[in-house]
């Protein structure tokens, strides 16, 4: 081996080991957070975070186990947000493993839970994921309806990340409908928001989608430019499934340039990662790409072998039983939703009736209370009036007694005065009589003088 190439290989190996160790340390830290948490909503969040880290590292089965534990705890706590989130996450695990009917079933369960308790964010997420399901079923019109419903809720919530994700998903559908003008419009809307918010994972997805546009226009070098930018960001956020997917896309661009050795390197990497994760759809894509690589290299035996493997995985994903199950799940959800809406309407009418009865009872209670107050006031006023009358009568009697006493005193005083006056008058009268009966001294002197003479 060339020494310089050998050194590059060793450096790359060391970097890979360093990244894996750092990733494992992060996962171990999240696991410790789960173990330290009490059985409350904080543990639900810790379980979800740990499970997502496991899913991103390709440990889909382990992630599924912890999402189930989160679901169980959320049900015990009657934590409806946690229930909706866990159901949605389990659906995502099935989606990653290309188990589309199971994924669809969980997404509908999540949507039903979110709708029942008006959990807007849960509704938006489940609707968007159902859009992806219908996209995989190639029912693009239905996929668009679900994505636009999700977009509307995200806009109502003012969730820029969710809006960007919906734009990206809508761009994907227009891509399959070959409406490239709409594709570029929605991808650019998405990328602009993701750059502003620093969403590396979202930016990577949009860059990959733009690369797809160039790929289908046979602009392989331009497509590679976007794919490699996306790959760098996917590796940065440690999203192993997306790394596998984009590696296979890069292999396709090398096939277009007839660089089969480079293509084999990236497609083999994609197959290895997808097999480790158990992602059937990505395994299928890798086998199809390897078929093209071996055909281009003239190795028809290997090409046939890989094409048979591709067909086997494709049939396991898109067989009639799965299609029927997906249709049954869709019909069941809408039937259950109709039943639920009827039940909700009945409950709403019952609540309205109870509220009206409660309102009438309140009116009766209020009216009775007012009547009691009026009666109490009337009794109080009547008693006050009677008391006032009694007081007035007493005052009148007292006044009359005082007046009588005053008149009596006045009468007695007058009588005393009259007596005094009468007595005085009688004295004066006696004196006058006496004076009239008794002669005056001069008269007596004259009489005495005459007698002497």
User: Are 129 and 85 in contact, with CB atoms under 8 Å apart?
Assistant: no
Number of domains observed in the structure of the chain:
1
How far separated are the first and last CA of the chain, in Å rounded?
Answer: 208
Residue 450: give the domain boundaries.
353-453
pTM above 0.85, yes or no: no
Please tell me the distance from the alpha carbon of residue 270 to that of residue 175, in angstroms, as a whole number. 23
Q: Is residue 229 part of a domain?
A: no
Q: Is residue 366 part of a domain?
A: yes
| Per-residue pLDDT at 12 | 35
Q: Is residue 399 part of a domain?
A: yes
* Contacts by 275-279, CB closer than 8 A, 24 or more apart: 276/58, 277/58, 277/59, 277/60, 277/96, 277/97, 277/240, 277/241, 277/244, 278/60, 278/61, 278/97, 279/60, 279/96, 279/97, 279/98, 279/241, 279/244
User: Are 262 and 225 in contact, with CB atoms under 8 Å apart?
Assistant: no
Q: Is residue 412 part of a domain?
A: yes
| Per-residue pLDDT at 65 | 94
Give 86's contacts (C-beta < 8 A, 6+ positions apart). 44, 48, 67, 68, 70, 71, 74
Q: What is the DSSP string of 145-161?
A: HHHHHHHHHHHHHT-HH
Q: Is residue 161 part of a domain?
A: no
Q: Is residue 261 part of a domain?
A: no
Q: Is residue 429 part of a domain?
A: yes
- CA dihedral for 198, 84, 58, 323, sign (positive or negative): negative
Please tell me the distance from the alpha carbon of residue 252 to that of residue 390, in angstroms, as a whole number. 112
pLDDT string in tens for the chain (453-residue length): 444 333 433 333 333 433 445 566 777 777 887 777 788 999 998 999 889 889 888 899 999 999 999 999 999 999 999 999 999 999 999 998 888 899 999 999 999 999 999 999 999 999 999 999 999 889 999 999 999 999 999 999 999 999 999 998 999 999 889 898 899 899 999 999 998 999 998 899 889 989 988 898 899 999 999 999 999 999 999 888 899 999 999 999 999 999 999 999 999 999 999 888 888 888 988 999 999 999 999 999 998 998 888 888 777 665 544 545 555 555 555 545 554 455 545 555 655 566 666 667 777 777 777 777 778 777 777 777 777 777 777 777 776 767 666 666 665 666 656 555 555 555 555 555 555 545 555 555 665 666 665
Please tell me the distance from the alpha carbon of residue 81 to that of residue 71, in angstroms, as a whole number. 10
User: Are 101 and 120 in contact, with CB atoms under 8 Å apart?
Assistant: no
Q: Supply 85's token pair.
A: 């989130």
User: Are 108 and 333 in contact, with CB atoms under 8 Å apart?
Assistant: yes
Please tell me the distance from the alpha carbon of residue 299 to that of residue 421, in angstroms, as a whole number. 167
User: Are 274 and 258 in contact, with CB atoms under 8 Å apart?
Assistant: no
Q: Is residue 444 part of a domain?
A: yes
């Amino acid at each position: 081996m060339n020494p310089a190439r050998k050194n590059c290989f060793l450096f790359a190996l060391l970097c890979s080991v360093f990244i894996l160790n750092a990733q494992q340390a992060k996962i171990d830290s999240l696991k410790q957070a789960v173990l330290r948490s009490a059985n409350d909503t904080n543990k639900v969040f810790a379980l979800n975070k740990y499970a997502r880290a496991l899913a991103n590292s390709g440990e889909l089965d382990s992630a599924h186990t912890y999402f189930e534990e989160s679901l169980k705890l959320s049900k015990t706590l009657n934590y409806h947000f946690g229930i909706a989130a866990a159901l949605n996450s389990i659906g995502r695990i099935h989606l990653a493993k290309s188990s589309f009917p199971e994924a669809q079933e969980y997404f509908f369960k999540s949507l039903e839970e979110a709708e029942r308790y008006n959990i807007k964010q849960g509704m938006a997420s489940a609707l968007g994921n159902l859009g992806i399901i219908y996209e995989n079923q190639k029912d693009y019109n239905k996929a668009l309806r679900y994505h636009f419903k999700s977009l509307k809720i995200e806009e109502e919530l003012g969730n820029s990340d969710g809006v960007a994700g919906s734009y990206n998903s809508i761009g994907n559908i227009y891509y399959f409908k070959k409406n490239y003008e709409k594709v570029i419009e929605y991808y650019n809307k998405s990328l602009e928001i993701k750059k502003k918010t620093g969403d590396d994972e979202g930016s990577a997805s949009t860059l990959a989608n733009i690369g797809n546009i160039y790929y289908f226009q046979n602009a392989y070098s331009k497509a590679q430019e976007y794919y490699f930018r996306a790959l760098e960001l996917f590796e940065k956020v440690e999203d192993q499934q997306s790394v596998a997917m984009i590696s296979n896309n890069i292999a396709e661009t090398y096939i277009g340039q007839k660089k089969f050795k480079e293509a084999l390197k990236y497609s083999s990497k994609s197959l290895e990662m997808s097999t480790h994760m158990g992602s059937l759809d990505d395994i299928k894509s890798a086998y199809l790409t390897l078929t093209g690589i071996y055909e281009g290299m003239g190795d028809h035996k290997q090409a046939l072998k890989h094409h048979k493997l591709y067909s086997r995985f494709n049939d396991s994903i898109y067989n009639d039983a799965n299609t029927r199950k997906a249709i049954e799940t869709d019909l069941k959800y809408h039937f259950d939703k109709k039943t639920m809406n009827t039940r909700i309407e009945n409950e709403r009418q019952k609540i309205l009736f109870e509220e009206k009865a409660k309102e009438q009872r309140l009116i009766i209670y209020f009216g009775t209370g007012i009547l009691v107050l009026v009666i109490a006031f009337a009794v109080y006023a009547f008693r006050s009036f009677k008391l006032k009358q009694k007081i007035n009568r007493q005052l009148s009697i007292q006044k009359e007694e005082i007046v009588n006493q005053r008149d009596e005193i006045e009468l007695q005083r007058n009588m005393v005065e009259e007596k005094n006056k009468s007595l005085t008058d009688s004295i004066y009268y006696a004196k006058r009589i006496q004076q009239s009966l008794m002669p005056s001294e001069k008269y007596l002197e004259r009489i005495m003088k005459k007698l002497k003479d």
